[in-house]
Amino acid sequence: MNTFAFLRFDLMSWLPRKQTLLPLALIVVVGIALPVPGMAIVASAVVTSMMISAPFLADERGRLDTLYGVLPLSRRSIVVGRAIAILTYYLLASAIAVVTTWAVAIARGGTIPFEIAGISLAVGFAFIGLAMSLQLPVLFRIGYSRGRLIAYAPALVIAGVLWVNQTLGLIEFDGEFAAPLPLVVVAGFGIGALGFAVGAIIALRMYRTRELR
Amino acid sequence: MTDYMARLDGLHIRRPSFDIADVSLTIPRGTVVGLVGPNGAGKTTVIRALLGLITPDAGVAEVIGLPAGTPAALARTGIVLDQPIVDPEWRVASLGRRIGPFYSDWDEGRFVELLSRFNVQRDRKVGDLSRGQGVKLTLAMALAQRPELLILDEPSSGLDPASRREISDVIREFMVDPGHATLFSTHITTDLDDLADDLVVMVGGRIAHQGALPDVRDEFAVARGSGTAPHGLIGAHTSGEQWSGLIRAADTAVFESDVVIDTASVDDIIIHLSAEHERSAA
């Protein structure tokens, strides 16, 4: 029950802020401005990955780290509550992206590119999972001030993997997915869910022994 | 039900910037325990240990028979720090909605009543409150939780006498229930005069003295004189020809008649015990 009390508290704390809501508008701009279908959905994942550190910034500005230490809450409730809060933000961002993609497709006299939308959502969620697994433990362990650069880690990891792949020629990609769509979607969501779980588990181990000031 | 509200037993906390050694204290139900000592004595660290914010290297920290820092222990502990630990952008009126759901006994009516009594305007942002109002807001939040144990960490530093009196009055009201207890850490030792039952003096990360407040006062006296300071003074201090130091009240007769013996205030006790600690550490 306390996990949901914290989730509610957390969303009340950082979601209704300009700094949190304005990036959602960026998703709409990307969806309208870029003619490539699915870009709004990709943007929603990138925006969410950059916003994972936002609640930690709010914690430091508001001395909320100390508050969490004296509230009758387990550390687990805080970690799980925050992970769900970030997931909620991602769901909101991806909903905006899907609606934007749909609206732009209609306005341009086309149809919703379901295949691209499905793949984009799955890949986006996998990206968020990777971001969570990298950022959540660091931010819970050392806070925003010392850990904020970790926000760039997921993009750097992906760029690094692509560079290694290109350099060594491990996997050739000719613009077509060789795997069937359902497999790509399941794999994407599976990786994302795994990333969330791994991020939360490691973050809990890190946060449990953190001394709060 | 345990007869004590909180206890530390053989607490050791060693960090690069401080060292707490062998701290043992008990906060019995129905008592106000004053925690005093100079800056850096370890008072805040002891409080952090009681809240579970810091993990001891050795020893036991318990609140209401539960390990310190567990949700069940924290649910029954009200904490008042020297400033609010909520976002400065939040409105005072929103705090019940934000914090209240974490406490099964949260009393919104009591919260509003205390804000009104303290003249803290509910439509203001927390960051716009004066220091004194911020402390009062924190006290109102702590009491609205309906705690059994109240922990105050330097709440009265920088407050005017009227505000300090208001805080003392509220603590007295809280202590009407014999099942309650308060730990009051302060630099302003006069705040403890009519309030504290027990006194714990911390110096250099250790407990230098503890006991019932009247007993602690009776146990010591201040000796003052001029010329060569006699042996046996605790934390002897010299200024020109004048010297002063703490003595055991029982040793008063040992001193010559030209030595002035005064009653020791809590400040005198802290000052001279600190000086003695520094002398022995040098």
H/E element, B36: strand B32-36
Q: For B132, phi and psi rounded to 5 degrees?
A: -65, -40
Domain of A196, in residue numbers: 2-208
Residue B218: beta bridge partners?
A: none
CB–CB contacts below 8 A, A to B: 65
pTM of the model: 0.88
**Domains, in order of start, for chain B:** 4-209 (3.40.50.300), 215-281 (no CATH)
* A114 in a structural domain: yes
* A28 in a structural domain: yes
pLDDT mean over B188-214:
91
Task: State how far residue B72 is from chain A, nearest Cα, in angstroms.
Answer: 6
CA B229 to chain centre: 33
A5 touches chain B (CB under 8 A): yes
* A30 in a structural domain: yes
A16 touches chain B (CB under 8 A): no
CA distances from B159 to A56, A121, B32, B163, B171 (A): 32, 56, 20, 6, 16
**Is B106 exposed, middle or buried (CB count within 10 Å of its CB: 0-12, 13-18, 19+)?**
middle
Question: How many folded domains does chain A comprise?
Answer: 1
* A122 in a structural domain: yes
* A53 in a structural domain: yes
Structure letter (DSSP) for residue B86: S
* A111 in a structural domain: yes
Q: How far apart are CA B98 and CA B129, in angstroms?
A: 18
Interface test mutation site (partner A, options B48, B139, B151, max chain A beta carbons within 10 A): B48
Between vectors from CA B255 to CA B252 and to CA B257, what angle results, nearest 5°? Answer: 105
Task: Output the tens digit of pLDDT for each of chain A's 213 residues.
Answer: 689 999 999 999 999 889 899 999 999 999 999 878 888 999 999 999 999 999 999 898 888 999 999 999 999 999 999 999 999 999 999 999 999 998 998 888 877 778 888 888 999 999 999 999 999 999 999 999 898 888 888 888 888 887 887 787 666 656 555 667 788 889 999 999 999 999 999 999 999 988 887
Interface test mutation site (partner B, options A70, A144, A208, max chain B beta carbons within 10 A): A70
Task: State how far residue B185 is from chain A, nearest Cα, in angstroms.
Answer: 17
Helix ranges, chain A (H): 2-14, 18-33, 39-51, 54-61, 64-70, 75-107, 114-147, 153-168, 181-208
Q: What is the ipTM of this complex?
A: 0.87
pLDDT mean over B213-225:
90
* A94 in a structural domain: yes
Q: How many CB atoms lie within 10 A of CB B172?
A: 13
* A213 in a structural domain: no
Q: What is the pLDDT of residue B5?
A: 93
> Which residue from A209, A203, A208 is spatially nearest to A56, judged by alpha carbons?
A203
Q: What is the pLDDT of residue B1?
A: 58
Q: What is the pLDDT of residue B280?
A: 81
Give the pLDDT confidence of A187-204 residue by residue, as tens digits.
999 999 999 999 999 999
Q: What is the pLDDT of residue A177?
A: 56
Q: What is the pLDDT of residue B3?
A: 81
**Mean predicted lDDT score pLDDT of chain B:** 91
